Amino acid sequence: MKFQNVHIIDDTLDALANLVVENGLIQEIEILDGRPDPAQPVLLPAFTDLHAHFRDPGFTYKEDVVSGSRAAVRGGYTAVNLMPNTLPVVSSVAQAREVEDRIAALNIIHANQVVSMTLNEQGQDCSHLRSIPAGTIPFVSDDGKGVNRDDVMEEIFNICKEKDFLIMAHEEDARYSPQDLRMAENAMTFRDLKLCEKTGGSIHFCHVSTIEAITAIAEAKAKGLRVSCEVCPHHIYFNAEQANYYRVAPPFRKDEDIEALIKGMQDGTVDAISTDHAPHTPEDKANGANGISGIETAFALCYTKLVRGGHLTLNQLVKLMSTTPSAMMRLNKGAFKVGMKADFVKVDLNEPYIIRAEEFASRGKNTPFEGQQVWGNVLETIREGQTVYQA
Binding residues for ligand DOR (CB under 6 A): 53, 85, 143-144, 170, 248-249, 276, 278, 290-291
Q: Give the count of beta carbons closer than 10 Å to the beta carbon of residue 51.
A: 29
Q: Tell me whether residue 211 or residue 248 sits nearer to ligand DOR (CB atom).
A: 248
Query: What is the side-by-side strand order in the sheet with 272-273?
Result: 139-141, 166-169, 202-205, 226-231, 272-273
Minimum distance from CB of 206 to ligand DOR (Å)?
A: 7
The reply to whether 142 belongs to the active site is no
Determine which one of 257, 276, 343, 348 is catalytic.
276
Q: Tell me whether residue 362 or residue 377 sits nearer to ligand DOR (CB atom).
A: 362
Minimum distance from CB of 199 to ligand DOR (Å)?
A: 24
Q: How many helices (H) and strands (E) does the chain have?
A: 11, 17
Minimum distance from CB of 207 to ligand DOR (Å)?
A: 7
Instruction: Report the run of H or E that residue 30 belongs to, with start and end.
Output: strand 25-31
Q: Tell me whether residue 167 or residue 340 sits nearer to ligand DOR (CB atom).
A: 167
Cα–Cα distance for residue pair 66/84, rounded to 1 Å: 17
Minimum distance from CB of 54 to ligand DOR (Å)?
A: 10
Q: Tell me whether residue 273 or residue 314 sits nearer to ligand DOR (CB atom).
A: 273
Cα–Cα distance for residue pair 153/167, rounded to 1 Å: 10
| DSSP structure string for 277-336 | B----HHHHHTT---B--TTTHHHHHIIIIIITTSS-HHHHHIIIIIHHHHHTT-S-SS-
| 36 neighbors 16 (Cβ within 8 angstroms) | yes
Minimum distance from CB of 1 to ligand DOR (Å)?
A: 38
Using DSSP, state whether 150 is helix, strand or coil.
helix
Q: Tell me whether residue 291 or residue 376 sits nearer to ligand DOR (CB atom).
A: 291
Catalytic positions, written as ranges: 276
